Chains A and B, each alone.
Chain A
């Protein structure tokens, strides 16, 4: 598992929730390898923010994109070569502020990617501004009198948008989180995993640990899932929703693969000749 670490210097704050996610993802990749998924078939993308530093630390191929845009990079990877498993790391601002439309549409399309949302409810890297998941009243440098906005409910939002696997984990329960990530990668379709991730300059772990509750059982239907997402408090972890729907790339071209089944130049030119003849 240590060969999943690069030699890059880790610059997360000591005690940051991101360490828990980092451990869980490495555990999950080892587990997936044991289950027969080759490591070279797993690629990652990251946006910009504290979450994204994982790109430099994880010794895995991938694309370090722009703030808010890496979900589109993930979709482009999957569409071009569906043999690849794509893990998409995102912060709550990356995925639900600047990148909200991309996240919503990836869920709407049921893109076969695993979206891990590091929810620290704050813009940590840019010095503590309120984020899409920050509580109303969050005092940060851009909202000195407290924010005026209600946070999103990411679980119900993603179920509504069309995600087919929706779960919440906690950076402090690595075994539970590892299991969620493995399930998410295995799932055919858009798997959304929100991870409660304390950022130490702003939160303390004890508050999280005290409030964490486990969802007793996975809701059976869409409406039960929405109900659970709305009724349970935001420290409730577990799988809220799982269903089977056709994935985007198979709707687009069935079992084709634009890379591995690419048509040769000769075949293409013959077909072009036929098209031109009819013009």
Chain B
């Protein structure tokens, strides 16, 4: 195990503050100026069950959690049973001795200590923070300050409890781990926060969302900050209402975004097609979870790729792009908002639970975002669907003395319904021109990110799986070329040409290999092997490394 990487895992029942403890741990690490990656694994329930949070940290950039943890704190018996094999070499497991006895690990009477305070087991999370603080030799005063900031309810009791636990655990675990300090303190954000902030930076005016994991936290974040940024954030009656409201808003010139997961997007496809023919700029955040249907709501997968690429009936231009990292999600959301307005067509920011709900330290250049601005009509009489060389009709929004008609029926340039044979093909041709224009535009942009390696083999991946891959390669000191398309529709085949006949290995989280298929069919790539994982869990870097070695 890389001695610089330290992993903390905390497990317990929902409602015991597991995730919060993970996030406070992450902030302790970032206060040591280290990089952090936090992954939360939770079940679709409110109380009980089993949740855990894994936080890995290193002085250098780290792009995944590790399942082998140096310090594990379990609040209950079930957590111990589930994580007994997750203890790293020389790692420690701390368990709740009020619940059970174990031959290994360090037992502390968490329940009886917590019962001395009115909040009882709601304080377990604070206890986990204190155990971590003792184990890494984090000074009590600093720990108390962090607890004060992060747990504003019942501060005095929390601090008393934390100090008590710190002292109880210190003889067994105190100063067990030395964490080298990093270079600078960096903010920690979740993927969905990055997406939300990127959208605001890019010019977002209205956001509509119906709650659905793992996209809900975009709705929550934006609703919380709506007043601050002058946004309208609405939770309507269904995803069908969501997309149609967003389209209505776009008609007035408002930059609209919606967010959902696969099931919700299924309901939106009718409206997605509507955005296609009406040439409505609309950005959909599609955060994938395991399907089909309800699937596994709070876990991760990449099996909606094929769906995203073809969603909605009829021929129209769909732009699909997927961010690889949380940092990139910030820029790409703004970029996609700009693109859908430039090309007046719907687009999808395709991501996964693993990116949406994980958090990591980021260094953001806040100003480096695009700002969505459409081509506007200048003067004279107006036709909404004016035929132009590039297929893009200048826009105009009400109120205007000109009449502006957006139409879901096939229409003439003015926007009036038509069934005329010539006009139907004319308007198809007009819209189709936008694809050529878009490709020419994308050829001047970064659409595929390539890390040049030792040329023995290439790894192709996309979305947040990129982060798992990178961490695995770093851990194993492997140095292949890593090719990650950011844009998936249109697929930048001009960038992939050179890899056609090389040794290509695809890594993705779809049981049927949807990304592999796309690369074969669209880019004509020869694929030697596909490494798939479809158990709802993101890859663990060490396991992934083994699987990469197996196929070499």
Contact = CB atoms under 8 A, between A and B. Distances in A.
B203 A265 contact: yes
Contacts of B271: 66, 69
A62 B229 CA distance: 28
Interface stretch (A53-61, A124-132, A193-201, A207-215): A53-61
Given A66-B274, A269-B366, A6 B232 contact: no
B241 A101 contact: yes
Contacts of B193: 279
A253 interface: yes
Interface in A56-76: 56, 59-66, 69-70, 72-76
A63 B406 contact: yes
Given A63-B406, A72-B248, A279 B231 contact: no
Interface stretch (B155-163, B251-259, B300-308, B350-358): B251-259
B399 A38 contact: yes
A79 B406 contact: no
Contacts of A101: 237-238, 241
Contact of A41 (B245, B399, B407): B399
Contact of A61 (B188, B247, B249, B404): B404
Interface stretch (A21-29, A114-122, A152-160, A254-262): A254-262
B139 interface: no
Contact of A272 (B200, B237, B254, B278): B200
Contacts of B399: 38, 40-41, 83-84
A78 B404 CA distance: 16
Among B188, B200, B369, chain A packs the most CB atoms within 10 A around the CB of: B200
Nearest to A278: B187
A72 B415 CA distance: 20
A30 interface: no
A191 interface: no
Nearest to B412: A8
A277 interface: yes
Nearest to A261: B230
B285 to A, nearest CB: 17
B244 interface: yes
Interface string A216-259: 00000000000000000000000000000000010011001011
Contact of A64 (B226, B228, B417): B417
A279 B187 contact: yes
Contacts of A73: 244-245, 247-248, 251
B227 A253 contact: yes
A8 B197 contact: no
A273 B248 contact: no
Nearest to A274: B228
B405 A77 contact: no
B531 interface: no
Contacts of A74: 248
Contacts of A262: 205, 230
A45 interface: yes
Contacts of A62: 404-406
B45 interface: no
B244 A61 contact: no
B367 A61 contact: no
A279 B189 contact: yes
A252 B241 CA distance: 17
Interface string A31-54: 000000010110101001000010
B407 A64 contact: yes
B114 interface: no
Given A258-B230, A276-B364, A64 B405 contact: yes
A268 interface: yes
A105 interface: yes
Given A8-B417, A63-B278, A272-B366, A76 B248 contact: yes
Contacts of B205: 80, 258-259, 262
A263 B226 CA distance: 12
B252 A72 contact: no
Interface of A: 6, 8, 38, 40-41, 43, 45, 48, 53, 55-56, 59-66, 69-70, 72-81, 83-84, 101-102, 105, 249, 252-253, 256, 258-259, 261-263, 265, 268-269, 271-273, 275-279
Given A61-B402, A276-B197, 9 more contacts: A66-B270, A66-B274, A72-B240, A75-B248, A76-B250, A77-B249, A77-B252, A80-B248, A265-B201
5 contacts: A41-B398, A76-B206, A76-B247, A84-B398, A276-B187
